[in-house]
Chains A and B, each alone.
Chain A
């Protein structure tokens, strides 16, 4: 980034305003230092506040907010597959007793998972048009189910803990990005972005 007046190699004009292009002929100026990837940070707030910067942020935030579409789809598919297997096993065997003496009806567990599959898939579909609303619901639903599991079977809390943390982190990031996206859209004067396709 130029810090002092730069002489244009094309037209020999002196550029008082530091920049990438010559203000006299419009052609590229040589970069005095190696240029890092341009990100919207506190150091380049001017760019972040410009129209191009806001459009770039909006695109990036919209992409982050819609990350919940895939996560909810994966959760729906996993719940659906597991639910079908448990339902088929449950229909053939009836209620089973675990080592802890708990009577478990796999048929009911299977049906529950199939209902959850339907909810997750519906949320994934909704997230395409309303990513923030679907992400909030998905985050609350998944976390509530983890709390319910924790209460029902505390010994299983560590099973798949990394997967659970990743799911919650991605959904939380999608919610955060969705909120910022809505705020940015308001500031850009495009409404709240609700119902956008």
Chain B
């Protein structure tokens, strides 16, 4: 026979509100299933063990900062050599950077192949592939207008993508490879492939596309190029979102970079 005070509780022992059944009220009731291991001492420890989302975000940041490290190392090497930089050295350095970039991105693509491969296995609507070169005309025009305007205001030093290779006797095909082909493939896999997919695990698709475009513009470390790179990144993000494929993005990126190299080459040669 139970004691008078030990019968079914009428009030919640944790908050004191009336209850009609059970040991606690609905708000204070313990979970039915103990599904999360909880390390002691963490203020928000019950959700910190869900590794999936933070790990993916960390992966995107890891890839970004590794690529930034490659650029920083190349810039330091450029400064160390200083006045002794020759066209041959510049060509070799460009090839080395392209190779390092490709190695890092391919490693990341292999590591996250489940996210990247579906974007290579589908072509998307052919309309996007047809529209990509025309969109590149728009991004190149925008880039020319912005860079031309800023150059006319501040008379910034000229930067040539093709001059070192041409001076070293390689012709225009080498800058087309190192400036147009390699970045189009590696940067699209890195940004629209790995980083965008990783960010979509913690952000809405629209936010992920904007953040990816911003990271793409920031990585180039050029205030002069920031506006048109941001617009280009947003366009590429939109195409990737709508088509679900990386091919139109790679084509647009290649057309943009190739146009810049060819326009610069033939403008200087004229």
Please give the residue numbers on chain A whose beta carbons come within 8 Å of chain B beta carbons, in ascending order: 5, 7-8, 11-28, 39-43, 45-52, 57, 60-61, 105, 107-108, 111-112, 115-116, 130, 132-133, 136-137, 140-141, 143-144, 147-148, 150-151, 175-176, 178-180, 182-184, 187, 192, 194-195
Evaluate contact between A192 and B204: CB separation under 8 angstroms. Answer: yes
Evaluate contact between A180 and B154: CB separation under 8 angstroms. Answer: no
- A-B contacts besides A11-B5, A148-B72, 14 pairs, CB < 8 Å: A8-B5, A14-B3, A23-B9, A23-B12, A26-B18, A42-B40, A49-B30, A49-B46, A50-B27, A57-B46, A108-B156, A140-B218, A151-B72, A183-B47
In angstroms, Cα B154 to Cα A19, docked, is: 73
- B270 on the A face (CB < 8 A): no
Evaluate contact between B43 and A176: CB separation under 8 angstroms. Answer: no
Closest CB-CB distance, A175 to chain B, in whole Å?
7
- B39 on the A face (CB < 8 A): yes
A21, A41, A144, A195: the one within 8 Å of B42 (CB): A41
Top 7 nearest A-B pairs (CB, nearest first) are A19-B13, A13-B5, A23-B9, A21-B16, A26-B11, A42-B40, A194-B204
Closest CB-CB distance, A154 to chain B, in whole Å?
9
- B117 on the A face (CB < 8 A): no
| Contact (A48, B28) CB under 8 Å given A20-B16, A107-B154 | no
Evaluate contact between A27 and B16: CB separation under 8 angstroms. Answer: yes
Evaluate contact between B215 and A20: CB separation under 8 angstroms. Answer: no
Evaluate contact between B44 and A151: CB separation under 8 angstroms. Answer: no
Evaluate contact between B223 and A112: CB separation under 8 angstroms. Answer: yes
Evaluate contact between B53 and A41: CB separation under 8 angstroms. Answer: no
In angstroms, Cα B7 to Cα A23, docked, is: 9
Give 19 CB contacts A-B under 8 Å.
A11-B5, A15-B13, A23-B13, A24-B7, A25-B10, A26-B16, A27-B16, A39-B43, A40-B46, A47-B28, A49-B31, A108-B156, A136-B61, A140-B215, A140-B218, A141-B214, A182-B53, A182-B203, A184-B47
- B81 on the A face (CB < 8 A): no
A21 / chain B contacts, CB cutoff of 8 Å: 11-16
Closest CB-CB distance, B188 to chain A, in whole Å?
19
For the complex, count residues of B whose C-beta is within 8 A of A: 65
B61 / chain A contacts, CB cutoff of 8 Å: 136, 140
A43 / chain B contacts, CB cutoff of 8 Å: 40
Closest CB-CB distance, B27 to chain A, in whole Å?
5
In angstroms, Cα B196 to Cα A8, docked, is: 59
Residue of B nearest to A52 (CB): B27
- B23 on the A face (CB < 8 A): yes
Residue of A nearest to B153 (CB): A111
In angstroms, Cα B154 to Cα A22, docked, is: 77
Evaluate contact between A115 and B223: CB separation under 8 angstroms. Answer: yes
- B6 on the A face (CB < 8 A): yes
Residue of B nearest to A111 (CB): B154
A141, A175, A180: the one within 8 Å of B47 (CB): A180
- B1 on the A face (CB < 8 A): no
| Contact (A28, B16) CB under 8 Å given A49-B30, A111-B154, A194-B207 | yes
Evaluate contact between A137 and B214: CB separation under 8 angstroms. Answer: yes
Residue of B nearest to A22 (CB): B11
- Interface 0/1 of B203-235, CB less than 8 Å to A: 110111011001100110101001000000000
In angstroms, Cα B50 to Cα A182, docked, is: 12
In angstroms, Cα B14 to Cα A19, docked, is: 5
Evaluate contact between A151 and B75: CB separation under 8 angstroms. Answer: yes
Evaluate contact between B204 and A25: CB separation under 8 angstroms. Answer: no
